[in-house]
């Protein structure tokens, strides 16, 4: 085999994946690019879905699923051009065709028009080595893209044992310079693949710290609409906005409790920045911390009984935990000169944070059982980490050249993703809960 023929399949794969990502992300504000995947990625073939309806298919469902799985960094996706056959029913599947290609899993399906504006999809996932169907599913929706993300979630769960997060959403803030010293800040909502970008709030003053409510619809954020910071909650679909916290001094860092009944935040109305909570039902506000140091960036434990927060009460910023019943405070982080913006994975085991190491901020994770700290990133000015609801990936803000961009990394550090944007600086990412 000569050198050019050896590299040809690799070149074809790269061209196919580039075209696929471009076509899927053509209407997306964020374009998701894998920069490092797993060496042991699972090989899967996603056959183009059959369309059972008039005209052309409204969406390339197989293409969206392929892009989802590829961007997770945990799957190798076989290009359609390399397939020996394109079955759309179980009877048309010949396992030898896929074994010879080294495929471990095969996905086929059919999309059809339902009543009114509804679309129906059904699919089968095959284990090629066991030579059997391991998942059959069906769903309906008015939006075929939702059906594609649903299928991606199902495949991801069947193969990895973890719930997929492809049907979730992202919130983030962009800043654009308009000239003559003016700037425009926008709060965005988008699907997890960057598609369906929607501007929720727009302002000439800074927008900060978006945080999702557990219902996956409302977002709390900080804005300077009246010349000073206040906390608002906005319906991310209707744009209906409500000011919920407005006191003299600092108002910042909102965070919804796991049940959605409370909001934690920071106020400096009595002097030093302290942590408070607001009960939406009783309208009662409670002060949680009392210290002359700066206490900020509250984040809820999964059980809702404690808060993790950043404080410089030890001399430099570190992460502490406060029990909401006893108000007892304990220090959590000890490794590293500074640690901030901590949040827990849904199982409560891992603490993700911004970690100062050798003069640069990186994203790091601390195993709260073993006590070990693992630095996940190597870029500069990494900040504002937000964990996917399945606890697999962390999205964060970083710097690329002179622009603020978003990136993501897996909690084990094996998968790395960039999310460049075509519009100004991008900061303050927040990953939604499961929808």
Average pLDDT value for residue range 26-45? 85
Q: Supply the DSSP string of 260-288, one letter for each residue.
A: SSEEEEEE-TTSS-EEEEEETTT--EEE-
Rounded to two decimals, what is the model's pTM? 0.91
Across 83-196, where does the E strand assignment appear?
105-113, 119-127, 132-141, 169-179, 182-191
Q: Which tokens hold the place of 94?
A: 């010949």
**Domain 169-431 homologous superfamily, CATH:** TolB, C-terminal domain (2.120.10.30)
Average pLDDT over residues 292-297: 97
Confidence tier at 400 by pLDDT (50, 70, 90): confident
* Strand 42-46 versus strand 75-77 pairing type: parallel
How many degrees, rounded to 5, is the angle at CA 233 between CA 227 and CA 239?
95
| pLDDT value of residue 27 | 59
> What pLDDT, in 10s, does the model give residues 335-378?
999 999 999 999 999 999 999 998 999 999 999 999 999 999 99
Is residue 236 pLDDT above 90, yes or no?
Answer: yes
Mean of the pLDDT values across residues 99-116?
97
pLDDT confidence of residue 31: 85
Domain residues of the chain, as ranges? 3-160, 169-431
Pull the structure tokens for residue 245.
Answer: 């916290």
Return the structure tokens found at 24. Answer: 């899927």
Q: pLDDT value at position 19? A: 40
- Specify the DSSP element, H or E, that contains 319: strand 318-323
Q: Which has the closest alpha carbon to 421: 231, 215, 197?
A: 197
> For the segment 176-188, what is each residue's pLDDT rounded down to a tens digit?
999 888 999 999 9
Mean pLDDT calculated for residue range 390-395: 96
CATH topology of domain 3-160: Rossmann fold (3.40.50)
DSSP classification of residue 49: P
Q: Regarding predicted confidence, which is higher, 277 or 16?
A: 277
pLDDT at position 9 over 70: no
**pLDDT value at position 139?**
98
Is 60 exceeded by the pLDDT of residue 7? no
Q: Is 352 helix (H, G, I), strand (E, B) or coil?
A: strand
- pLDDT at 273 > cutoff 60: yes
pLDDT (average), residues 248-266 = 97
| Cβ pair 135, 155 in contact under 8 A | yes
Tell me: pLDDT of 1 over 60: no
For the chain, percent of residues with pLDDT exceeding 90: 86
Instruction: State the pLDDT at residue 34.
Output: 86
Q: What is the mean pLDDT of the chain?
A: 92
In the structure encoding, which two tokens stand for residue 63, read together?
């293409």
């Amino acid at each position: 085999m000569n050198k050019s023929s050896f590299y040809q399949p690799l070149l074809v794969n790269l061209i196919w994946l580039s075209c696929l990502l471009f076509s899927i992300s053509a209407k997306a504000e964020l374009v998701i690019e894998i920069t490092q995947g797993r060496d042991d990625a699972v090989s899967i073939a996603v056959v183009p879905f059959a369309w059972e309806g008039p005209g052309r298919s409204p969406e390339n469902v197989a293409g969206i699923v392929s892009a989802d799985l590829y961007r997770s960094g945990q799957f190798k996706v076989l290009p359609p051009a390399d397939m020996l056959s394109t079955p759309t029913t179980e009877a048309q599947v010949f396992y030898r065709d896929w074994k010879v290609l080294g495929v471990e899993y095969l996905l086929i399906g059919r999309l059809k028009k339902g009543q009114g504006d509804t679309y129906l999809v059904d699919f089968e996932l095959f284990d090629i080595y066991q030579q059997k169907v391991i998942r059959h599913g069906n769903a309906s929706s008015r939006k075929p893209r939702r059906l594609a993300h649903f299928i991606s979630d199902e495949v991801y769960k069947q193969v990895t044992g973890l719930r997929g997060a492809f049907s979730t959403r992202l919130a983030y803030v962009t800043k654009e310079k308009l000239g003559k010293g003016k700037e425009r800040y926008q709060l965005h909502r988008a699907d997890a693949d960057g598609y369906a970008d929607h501007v929720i709030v727009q302002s000439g003053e800074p927008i900060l710290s978006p945080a999702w409510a557990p219902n996956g619809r409302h977002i709390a954020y900080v804005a300077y609409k009246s010349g000073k910071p206040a906390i608002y909650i906005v319906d991310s679909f209707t744009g209906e906005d409500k000011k919920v916290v407005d006191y003299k001094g600092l108002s910042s860092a909102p965070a919804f409790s796991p049940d959605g009944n409370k909001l934690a935040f920071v106020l400096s109305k009595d002097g030093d920045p302290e942590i408070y909570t607001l009960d939406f039902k009783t309208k009662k506000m409670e002060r949680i911390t009392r210290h002359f140091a700066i206490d900020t960036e509250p984040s809820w434990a999964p059980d809702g009984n404690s808060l993790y927060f950043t404080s410089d009460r030890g001399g430099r910023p570190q992460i502490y935990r406060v029990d909401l019943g006893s108000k007892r405070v304990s220090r959590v982080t000890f490794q590293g000169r500074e640690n901030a913006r901590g949040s827990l994975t849904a199982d409560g085991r891992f603490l993700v944070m911004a970690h100062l190491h050798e003069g640069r901020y990186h994203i790091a994770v601390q195993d709260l059982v073993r006590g070990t700290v693992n630095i996940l990133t190597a870029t500069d000015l990494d900040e504002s980490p937000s964990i996917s609801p399945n606890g697999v990936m962390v999205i964060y803000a970083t710097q690329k050249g002179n622009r603020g961009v978003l990136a993501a990394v897996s909690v084990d550090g094996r998968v790395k993703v960039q999310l460049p944007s075509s519009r100004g600086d991008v900061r303050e990412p927040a990953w939604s809960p499961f929808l």
